Amino acid sequence: MNISEIMIPTIHSISSDKSVSHAARLMSQYQMDSLVVIDHGELVGLVTSRDVLTAHPNRIVADAMCNQMHYLLADQNIWEAHHYFLNENVKLAIVLDEEQVSGMITKETVEMKIAEYKDPLSGLYRAPYIQFIGESYLRKQIPFHLLFIDLNDFGRINKQYGHPFGDDVIRTYSAVLSSIAEDQGDHLCRYAGDEFVLISTAPIALIEQYIDLISRPTNVLDITVSAAVGHVNGCEDPDFFKRSWRELIAQASLESSAIKAQKTASALPS
Amino acid sequence: MFGDSSVYSRKATLSLKISEFEVPPMQDLLIIGRKAPIGPEAVRRMAEALSPEQFTLLKIDHPKIEAVLLRNSLLQMMDEKLLMKIILEESERMISESMVLRSELKIALSVQREVDLL
C-alpha cells in the first residue's frame, strides 16, 4: 500500500507573517491539526496545533513554526513511511508527488495501517511486511538469508488437542522465534497458518545454528514441536539480486516441503 | 404635556500628546523571552524594516531567553561572546520568559598613555 492511499490529500496553508492566533482559527475552521507555511510560493515550514498551543498567540507564525520539514514520496509504501517515522522520530511528514506537495501524512495514520498487518494471534507481522523487507534488500542489493519455517505435524496437533491449543502453540512458538530474531535485529513474520519467514543478515555460521535450533524437536507447552526449514542463501548465489522476491520465497518454501517429505519418508517403516 | 427642563448630552474629551517617534525604537538591544508576545523572527523583520542592515539577531540556548537583537556597531567594537556574556549576566536576573527587554548600551573607551619626552 502506497502513502498516497492513506495520506491527508487536502493541504491548507498560511504565510509566515500571520499571527499564531490566526493559525489557530484556520486550524479550527478547516478542522486540521497542521498548516503548511508558504511564503511567496515557497514552502518554508509547518505549523502544528502543538506549536499553536505552546506559542504566544500574538507571535507570528514564523516564530512558532517548525522549519525542519520531513518529506515522503507519494509512491513510497507504508512500511517505508513506518521506518522513516521511527528513525527520524517525527510525527508528521509532507508528501511530495513529482516534487509538488500533494498531502500530509502522520505517524499515527501509518501506525494504524501497519497494525492491520499484524497478526493478532502471534503479534508478528504478516506476509506483506517480510515482502517489503525482502524487496527492499533486493533493491538495495543487501545480501540476506531467507528461512522458510514450516511446523511439522501442526494439523495433527490441532486434531489431537483442539484448535485453541494449536493457537497456544503458535503463540508460544512465535515468541521463541521472536527471541531468536530480536537478538540479531532480523525480520520475522507469520507467513501463513503454521509457516514463518525469517530474513537475516547474520553470518552463515549463525544461520546454521538457527536452522539447527529450529529444526530440532522442542518442547512447547508439554508437546514436542519441530519445523522444516527451507534456506536460500543470498550471500553465495551470484544471481541472487536478479531474482524476484516471489522466486526466492517459492524456492525456500519448496525446500522446506522437500525436507518435510524426506523426514516423513524416513519415518515410515521400510 | 410634560415639562422636561433637563437636557441630555454626550460629550467626549480628547487628549493628544505628540512626540517624535525614535527610529529605531529599540535603541541598542532587545532581549527576547522564550514566551514573549513577539518572537525573534518578528523582531528581526521589524528591525530590518525600520533600520536595514543595522541589527543582528542572535538566537541563544538559555532557559528564559530565546534571542538577543544587537546593534551591529556594538559587535564591531566588542567581542560577541564577551558582550553576550555581560548582557545575559545582567538581564537574566530581571527577565521572565514572557518579557522583551529594551536596553541602551554605550561603550566608552578610556585611554591613558604615557610617552617619553624627546
pLDDT of residue A185: 62
> What value does the mean pLDDT take over residues A25-37?
93
Task: Report the chain A residue with the minimal C-alpha distance to residue B40.
Answer: A63
Looking at the domain assignment, is residue B34 inside a domain? yes
A270 pLDDT band (50/70/90 cuts)? very low
Residue A214: C-alpha distances to residues A147, A217, A230, B100 (Å): 10, 8, 11, 67
Mean of all residue pLDDT scores within chain B: 91
> What value does the mean pLDDT take over residues A129-153?
90
Looking at the domain assignment, is residue B118 inside a domain? no
A63 and B42 within 8 Å at the Cβ level: the answer is yes
Looking at the domain assignment, is residue B43 inside a domain? yes
Report whether A199 contacts A137 (CB < 8 A). Answer: yes
The mean-pLDDT minimum among A179-183, A233-237, B63-67 falls in A179-183
Residue B11: C-alpha distances to residues A55, A198, B8, B14 (Å): 42, 88, 10, 10
The mean-pLDDT minimum among A9-13, A262-266, B75-79 falls in A262-266
Looking at the domain assignment, is residue B75 inside a domain? yes
Q: Looking at this predicted complex, what is its ipTM? A: 0.78
Bridge-based pairing state of the strands A125-126 and A187-192: parallel
Three cell numbers, residue A76: 513510497
Has residue A57 got a pLDDT over 90? yes
Looking at the domain assignment, is residue B14 inside a domain? no
- Which chain B residues are within 8 Å of A56, Cβ to Cβ? 35-37, 39, 98
Q: Between A and B, how many residue pairs show a Cβ–Cβ distance under 8 A?
A: 30
Sort A64 into a burial class: Cβ within 10 Å, 0-12 / 13-18 / 19+: buried
Range of the domain at B95: 29-103
Looking at the domain assignment, is residue B45 inside a domain? yes
Looking at the domain assignment, is residue B74 inside a domain? yes
Looking at the domain assignment, is residue B109 inside a domain? no
- What percentage of chain A has pLDDT greater than the value 90? 50
Residue with cell 528564559: B64
Task: Report the chain B residue with the minimal C-alpha distance to residue A55.
Answer: B35
Backbone dihedral angles phi then psi of residue B32, each to the nearest 5 degrees: -105, 120
pLDDT of residue A83: 85
pLDDT of residue B61: 94
The segment with the largest mean pLDDT, out of A84-88, A222-226, B111-115, is: B111-115
pLDDT of residue A40: 92
Mean of all residue pLDDT scores within chain A: 89
A68 pLDDT band (50/70/90 cuts)? confident
Q: Give the C-alpha separation, B56 to B75, whole Å.
A: 9
pLDDT of residue B5: 64
Look at chain B and report how many structural domains it folds into. Answer: 1
Report whether B32 contacts B68 (CB < 8 A). Answer: yes
Q: At what angle do helices A163-184 and A154-161 cross, to 10 degrees?
A: 140
- What chain A holds in terms of domains, given with CATH numbers, is 3-115 (3.10.580.10), 125-267 (3.30.70.270)
